[in-house]
């Protein structure tokens, strides 16, 4: 990988290297990151690695989809220059005695419900960035806390890479694309549209002047609970950079974030909301 990337850089004119880290099962959300990378970089690398370290003991590691030939075809069709599909052995073969823990940003939201998840993400992203050494790396706003963790990690450790956040790609009915949507039954798939609807309801209320987090969260939780059987992990309003909860919204921007289990399938979504000047 290093040789290939060095080859791209040594060309005249030197090519900017962009990395899109993924766990495969590529969909239009991943392809939008690839398109963003292609528009800004002369050499686009996609990594495909289902990182066991970021899955909890009772999570979906074994059933996680791995349609590798379809993924390679999608990479080819989208003009990806290099696919890095390392084995477990290549990434963790020699063991790893080092932890990468981004403390504050990892703690709330998914961090609270998936202990160890962001340490697993931070470790593998550090490894991938060090292996590929891209100029830019592309991540989806769909995983807003992951993006915040990685921005903080790269800043704190002075890593020479620019982190680019890309907008969430959605189905026509608002459901954010996710490899995990494939787990949903037909009924759950319909019910899952409540995630985005609950985020839009929060946004509408904020635009209408509401600033009380607890009231906004309560209304969104009611909407989700009324959609049918499901288990809510969290509905929260947080600071978009630090991920810390906000009890009262101030002028600026706020991240509304939700995580809900529908049957066996846990889905997350979020929306960045502009909070205007409070005239009340
Ligand atoms: P994953 O394969 O789920 O680890 O995702 C790889 C990258 O694709 C991450 O940076 C995700 O945030 C991003 N991604 C996943 N789903 C979407 C989506 N619907 N829209 C935009 N980016 C996404």
Q: What is the pLDDT of residues 83-99, one digit of tens each?
A: 999 999 999 988 899 99
Residue carrying structure tokens 């989809």:
65
Atom 14 of ligand 1: nearest residue by CA position? 140
- Short-list 82, 17, 90, CA closest to 51: 90
Rounded distance, CA 52 to CA 61, Å? 7
Judge whether 223 and 192 are in contact, CB under 8 Å.
Answer: no
Average pLDDT (69-78) is: 98
Q: Inform me whether the pLDDT recorded for 147 exceeds 90.
A: yes
pTM above the 0.85 mark?
Answer: yes
Q: Which residues line ligand 1 (CB under 6 A)?
A: 22-23, 29-30, 32-33, 139-140, 142-143, 166, 168-169, 176-179
Judge whether 163 and 189 are in contact, CB under 8 Å.
Answer: no
CA of 26 to the centre of ligand 1 (A): 9
For the CA of 177, the closest atom of ligand 1 is 19
For the CA of 179, the closest atom of ligand 1 is 3
CA of 29 to the centre of ligand 1 (A): 6
Q: Inform me whether the pLDDT recorded for 279 exceeds 70.
A: no
CA of 267 to the centre of ligand 1 (A): 12
Q: Would residue 27 show up in a list of annotated catalytic residues for this protein?
A: no
Angle of helix 28-40 versus helix 68-77 axis, rounded to 10? 40
């Amino acid at each position: 990988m290093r040789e290939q990337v060095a080859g791209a850089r040594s060309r005249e004119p030197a090519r900017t290297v962009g990395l899109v880290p993924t766990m495969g099962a590529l969909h239009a959300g991943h392809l939008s990151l690839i398109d963003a990378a292609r528009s800004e970089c002369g050499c686009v690398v996609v990594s495909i690695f289902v990182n066991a370290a970021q899955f909890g003991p009772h999570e979906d590691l074994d059933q996680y989809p791995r349609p590798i030939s379809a993924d390679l075809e999608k990479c080819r069709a989208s003009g990806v220059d290099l696919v890095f599909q390392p084995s477990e052995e290549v990434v963790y073969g020699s063991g790893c005695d080092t932890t990468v823990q981004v403390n504050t940003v990892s703690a709330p939201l998914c961090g609270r419900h998936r202990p160890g998840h962001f340490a697993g993400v931070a470790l593998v992203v550090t490894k991938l960035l060090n292996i590929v050494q891209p100029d830019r790396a592309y991540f989806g706003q769909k995983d807003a806390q992951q993006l915040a963790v990685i921005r903080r990690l790269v800043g704190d450790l002075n890593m020479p890479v620019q982190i680019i956040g890309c907008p969430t790609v959605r189905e026509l009915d608002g459901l954010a694309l996710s490899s995990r949507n494939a787990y949903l039954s037909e009924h759950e798939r319909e019910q899952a549209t409540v995630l985005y609807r609950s985020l839009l309801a929060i946004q509408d209320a904020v635009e209408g002047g509401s600033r009380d987090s607890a009231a906004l969260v309560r209304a969104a939780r009611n909407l989700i609970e009324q959609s049918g059987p499901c288990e809510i992990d969290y509905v929260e309003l947080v600071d978009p950079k630090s991920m810390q909860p906000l009890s009262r919204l101030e002028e600026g921007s706020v991240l509304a974030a939700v995580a809900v289990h529908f049957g066996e399938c846990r889905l997350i979504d979020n929306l960045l909301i502009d909070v205007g000047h409070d005239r009340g």
